[in-house]
Structure 1
């Protein structure tokens, strides 16, 4: 009797699995399997259509002549393997972009052979990463990228800009800065909002930007109806692109803020009474649309408006995308060259902007190329502040009252007193009716002003709160105008 006939099926499967695969766990306790020497990891409990570990284990056993095993034996073997893996060291898995050793970062090309791009301080190269350095997690949203071209001399960036319909050179350099930011696993980047008149190619431009990172299968999608579906889609890919937005609910606005700067969602694990699993996410986000209505101040700080114009010459979809597919290796190679150059550049970090990491990246891009990305970013934020103020009657009334104060002066009242003051100012002598959404209590006013703080501060009005023996108060200060040289630098 052979040794295989003496051993139970589960032991044969377990011995084969441990000989051909590496098993490890992530911080949330999920166990993954990697074929020896290959960076792609699959959760052993996955039944997904991208290929589960159970499936690749069954195929390996069959092709190596070990036999075909029933579901019970496979389940028992995987249960044991999972239990053993829970004692192993913790290692994260990454989608598309990952940090590496010695300050390098990796870009997953989505290829079956595991070849990836390593971006390091002196340049970039193509290699299969050590599975202990980088473990790739792939889903149906992980498209394949072409091998990037070497020695492009920046030609790919020019080719890309020729296909896109960006209205100004400032818009182009902001788009380039965003693409470089997408290649960094630890840099939160603002969400580009591609806008412009009808027929400006907003959706096409959005697809072109996304497909540089996600491959030709990357596409735009409609905004999900609820936050849970949005988070599910975001967690399964790297760049999330939402098309043709025409309205922004407060819930969607808050969810987008979390996506850009990072958050975590906790849900009950299936088939359990008390266990939970955690979904952490921070992803590059892109949106297109003509107008989304009133923009909330916290989202405005996380947006990057990119305006497009109508092209003078129209081309067929087939012609356009055929050319794009041909130049994509050159575009990707040029972007990688520029990314390595920008990361090696030294620049000071602006301390007055909400997205400080992206502002620093813009400063590095300026140091490397002289494009003026930081000034363009400041100007875009200034335009967004104008949009917020134009859509918020309370903000307009606060600024109107602040104009009655001397520069450097402050005024302190309770929130209820401020409500009466601002309400009288808005209604005026003709007692015009209050608009829908106007604060009805001092507490509501206080909350609204806290949300408007960054927008008002950008217009020289500081709102602060505190408490004395008499109670809580709100204080409005009209800031002194900056010196002339600072005004020129900022705007």
Structure 2
């Protein structure tokens, strides 16, 4: 055969690729390749050292006797395939959990054979999802989970709690509620903050919770120094776990709020002048640390404090993790059983809490098991409000002023007048200078109160803003105390 009669290499590659792979695009325009009848998809532009579609295509061509092709031919073929895929239907890709058909959700086990867990209204089973129903995206952070055990009779939950050092039953039920929430692809869950004295096993407990969802390769990591690196780490996995936090900057606090409830990051695409790259993210977040200092009010509403205590008997790391690996299939199976049971339970959605989806999940858990998760969640939020108030002198001063007001009474002044009033109350007869961070203008004072508004409302002090013909005003109202039967439970 003459050189003119030979099929160009790029055509050989293109024909082979279209016969063995399915190509589609996501909403942001990224083109993915999915091997026929396999749920895992890879971006065709990935230049990763392992598991890239380019390598996958080269290996397939070589093993099927089509030959070894140069980079130029592969590039030309992939350019054409990408252009063709941009005309195909849009389909999302998912990491670890995904919504399915008929009210089902899927959990990726991270296995090479594509086996996953389908959680449906009547139970759960292990199957390979239809590629057109679920497309998994995997990264180096996607670990492999064992096949969950069936018919566990709930003993896996007890085995997990025996290995962790949770301080009380309320903490245990909140940890279980968080794990169930992590299996929901569309339910924002607050970030557990594992606290306790030194030696309480906070890092070990955090790893155990994370590895139920991420496999034995899941681990904790230090908080990145900038938001861009944090977002990159968040986008590459499902559960993001930050270890040993001792200080939380305002930027890090704001970034965590966005991670928990969801946000989008837009930046210029590489090697382009005007195109942009969009990264949407909403992920379960887990934190550990003894104390992070002052917690900002908006983050406090998105935290779930889990207190641990020092164990009476110490065990070696090898013994502990060997036992954990042995019981993980049973733990995962019990968690899936409980998830099915909780999702089937009917419960009213509390309308007074910021994380309403998680509050509803706690109510469903109570309806299914009677654990008291919702009351424990309310009590944990009360504790966090106390932490916010104890770390903010302005909040303390506002509450001191509210104590002098009659129940149901309202006071209306401008922001500047309020600032002078509270500054005099703080200084008292000593005429001491205002502390560092005290508002210096009416505008700064008003902005600070906007952040503190939910925290103060939880203590019966309502803050409202408005305008009259004379100008803007800020109104403070002291609510009457609730009747005894409506007071929140205290543990």
TM-score by length of 2: 0.99
Q: Which runs of 4+ in 1 moved over 3 A?
A: 1-5, 488-491
Per-residue deviation, 1:489: 6.0
State the distance in 1 between where 2:478 and 2:12 align. 77
Residue pair 2:415, 2:445 contacting (<8 A) in 1 also? yes
* Residue aligning to 1:153: 153
State the distance in 1 between where 2:40 and 2:102 align. 21
Per-residue deviation, 1:469: 1.2
- When residues 440 and 33 of structure 1 are mapped into structure 2, their CA distance, relative to the original with a 3 A threshold, is same
Residue pair 1:461, 1:477 contacting (<8 A) in 2 also? yes
Show CA shifts across 1:330-367 (max 9, x none).
Answer: 00000000000000000000000000000000000000
Matched residue count: 491
Residue pair 1:4, 1:12 contacting (<8 A) in 2 also? no
Per-residue deviation, 1:490: 8.6
TM-score by length of 1: 0.99
- In structure 1, list runs of 5 or more residues that go unmatched: none
Per-residue deviation, 1:76: 0.6
State the distance in 1 between where 2:329 and 2:391 align. 43
The DSSP-based 3-state class of the residue aligned with 1:325 is: helix
* Residue aligning to 1:314: 314
State the distance in 2 between where 1:71 and 1:5 align. 22
The DSSP-based 3-state class of the residue aligned with 1:107 is: strand
Per-residue deviation, 1:179: 0.2
State the distance in 1 between where 2:265 and 2:98 align. 21
Per-residue deviation, 1:432: 1.5
Aligned CA RMSD, in angstroms, stands at: 1.2
The DSSP-based 3-state class of the residue aligned with 1:394 is: helix
State the distance in 2 between where 1:468 and 1:145 align. 62
Per-residue deviation, 1:4: 11
Per-residue deviation, 1:483: 2.1
Show CA shifts across 1:393-444 (max 9, x none).
Answer: 0000000001111111101111000110010000001111211000000000
- When residues 488 and 54 of structure 1 are mapped into structure 2, their CA distance, relative to the original with a 3 A threshold, is closer
Residue pair 2:378, 2:488 contacting (<8 A) in 1 also? no
Residue pair 1:378, 1:490 contacting (<8 A) in 2 also? no
Show CA shifts across 1:238-277 (max 9, x none).
Answer: 0000000000100000000000000000010000001001
Per-residue deviation, 1:289: 0.4
Residue pair 2:234, 2:240 contacting (<8 A) in 1 also? yes
- Superposed, 1:334-483 pairs within 5 Å as 334-483=334-483
- In structure 2, list runs of 5 or more residues that go unmatched: none
- Superposed, 1:205-216 pairs within 5 Å as 205-216=205-216
The DSSP-based 3-state class of the residue aligned with 2:487 is: helix
Per-residue deviation, 1:20: 0.4
State the distance in 2 between where 1:10 and 1:294 align. 60
Per-residue deviation, 1:2: 9.5
State the distance in 1 between where 2:298 and 2:461 align. 17
Per-residue deviation, 1:50: 3.7
Residue pair 1:165, 1:310 contacting (<8 A) in 2 also? yes
Show CA shifts across 1:430-489 (max 9, x none).
Answer: 111211000000000000000000000000000010111111111101012222211156
The DSSP-based 3-state class of the residue aligned with 2:257 is: helix
Quick check: 1:249 aligned with 2:249?
yes
* Residue aligning to 1:177: 177
State the distance in 1 between where 2:286 and 2:205 align. 11
Residue pair 2:350, 2:360 contacting (<8 A) in 1 also? yes
The DSSP-based 3-state class of the residue aligned with 1:482 is: coil
Show CA shifts across 1:167-188 (max 9, x none).
Answer: 0000000000000000000000
